[in-house]
Amino acid sequence: MSEMVELRAYAPEDAEGLWQMLEPVFRAGDTYAIDADISREAAIAYWTGPERRVFVVSDGARLLGTYYIVRNQKGGGSHVCNCGYVTAAEARGKGIARRMLAHSLKIALQLGFRAMQFNFVVSTNRRAVETWQRAGFDIVGRLPGAFHHPAEGDVDALVMYKTLAGN
């Protein structure tokens, strides 16, 4: 898959493919603190919102993943970025998330960020937690019962943080 895969900036003509990835993730309600009944328009507006740089992974025929990068806070916190990632169901387990993470870390440095923080990682999203930890992210906070998982009830949300190389 990696030979034919392109990671590029999101374009407005990607909106339908973006929605096809976001909809099942948001509807499932088990990894993002997003209303499960969010509309197509609201989901795309959320993902591509102001100040966000959005990227997609494509195999030419379809989108396989997407991520955004944005400063986590304004003012004194603007040197720390935040990202969100979604991998299409059919592309999971094929290195797409790792590729997006590597790209986002590179882009973050290019944009002048000195750290990356994930504000609300659902603790039951073990694949994401393990991926981020392998990439050097530390769990720096735990919000007990902060997320209502549709199958597991109230579960913890994690705050994960990584100081970026070169800083």
pLDDT at 94: 87
What is the total count of domains within the chain?
A: 1
What residue numbers bound the domain in which 46 lies?
A: 2-117
| Residue 25 domain-assigned (yes or no) | yes
pLDDT at 117: 97
| Residue 86 domain-assigned (yes or no) | yes
CATH number at residue 57: 3.40.630.30
According to DSSP, the β-strands at 115-122 and 80-87 are parallel
Question: In the beta sheet, which residues pair with residue 118?
Answer: 160
Residue type, 5: V
Task: Examine the pLDDT at 164 and tell me if it is beyond 80.
Answer: yes
Predicted confidence (pLDDT) per residue in 27-70, tens digit: 999 999 999 999 999 999 999 999 999 999 999 889 999 999 99
